[in-house]
Amino acid sequence: MSSFYFLVDCNNFYASCERVFNPQLIGRPIVVLSNNDGCVVARSNEAKALGIPMGVPIYQVRDIVDRHQVKVCSSNYTLYGELSRRVMAILKQHAESIEIYSIDEAFLEFSQGVSAERDWESLAIRIREAVKKSLGIPVSIGMAETKTLAKLANNAVKKKQLPEGFCLLDRPSKIEELLKQMAVQDVWGIGRRWSKHLQSYGIDTAWQLRVAPPKLMRQKFNVFLSRTQLELQGVRCLHLEHFVPPRKSIAVTRSFGRKIKNLAELEQAVASYLSRLSEKLRLHRLKARKFILFIRTNPFSKTDDFYAQSIVCSMPDYTSNTADLILAGMQGLREIYLSQFFYNKAGVVAVDLRGEDAHQGKLFAGLIESKEEASLMKAVDLLNRKYGKNSIHYAITGTNQGWSMLSNQRSPNYLGSWEELLLVR
């Protein structure tokens, strides 16, 4: 084999992040909630053992939480994102090539080297110890000659709770043993829908998928499943993706902490979301010419009437300027707003994106104005990063945002705010 893949996955990442700065949580069940403190989006192993399911509204498991003193945390994506960045930086120091697959997962690629074999287990131990020692985040590692097998090996570490924290698939007998134990729906990218279709042909395990007739895969399924079958056989079809594909859209959507009926408050919320959207566009070096704005009442309310409406807002030129987006958004909001409803959610989704160098030009303005606008936005972003979120903001976004989403149990932003730094006494 010419190279080998590692799939490094942070264990229960959000819960592990909460424990980094609060060691008293080690061994205690933890759940992390979605935006607006609604549903469970992450659980520690201890919380899983109590039977708390993923995605359940927190009020439905309140009795378990209270009985077992489960620590409930509001999501702190700023903290999680910064710790993720630091994990990936450590992995890059050990890998020849890396693909950041998600906030808590990365594929690493290693060449076989001049020797016939490399000590993959020792390398896995060094990587795990480096991340744990530097950041306090535990990781699991799956190792194999294809990305699909590496993903399955990582899955085995967690399902079997292997104490060493890694699984190496380097021999045919080990691969066969594992694939016969793995349900076909656990294979990367298949899931429930495809697994039901495969099961109708008698394919229940990953091993049965590996040895199924290739002709069946081509005729009854698709190219993806044919590639997956080859990957399970050790034939490399999926390579590292070194470049992030261009985004087709960027969204900012939030539920409100309380219902809104007043137009002025709704304008505050939408303007705040558009301000955040413009920051995201600049972060990704993009500009937008259109965005979709929507507002919605609670579809599950038994007392309020339901209303949902959206509108496409257009701008004269591709832009990431906050003022341009807010101006278009306020015009669009007034067209779809109806005063008799109580709203509980709004959102904006930028579409028709181009790189930040795209410039169509304005009829009565030239490049000088465009450069001045870009410099202003850059200065605003720098000040907000240095002095804290919304240190500089547009007046329409308001100062007393009583509608903002609930985050009553959020841990401090230890790595992103001077005011929230951990004090050691």
324 φ, ψ (degrees, to nearest 5): -65, -45
Q: State mean pLDDT over 34-50.
A: 91
212: left (phi over 0), alpha (psi -120 to 50) or beta: beta
Which of the four pLDDT bands, split at 50, 70 and 90, describes residue 115?
A: very low
Which pTM value belongs to this model?
0.79
Token pair of 171, please?
Answer: 């021999």
Which of the four pLDDT bands, split at 50, 70 and 90, describes residue 395?
A: confident
Please tell me whether residue 109 adopts helix, strand or coil conformation. strand
Q: State mean pLDDT over 86-94.
A: 95
Tens-digit pLDDT profile for residues 120-169: 999 999 999 999 999 999 999 999 999 999 999 999 999 888 889 999 99
Q: State mean pLDDT over 60-77.
A: 93
List of residues 6+ apart from 279 with CB closer than 8 A: 322, 381, 384
Spatial contact of 325 and 315, defined as CB atoms under 8 Å apart = yes
Token pair of 375, please?
Answer: 């410099």
Which of the four pLDDT bands, split at 50, 70 and 90, describes residue 102?
A: very high
Q: State mean pLDDT over 331-346.
A: 95
Q: What pairs with residue 252 in β-bridges?
A: 348
Looking at residue 389, what is its pLDDT? 75
Residue 27 exposed, middle or buried by CB count within 10 Å (0-12, 13-18, 19+): exposed
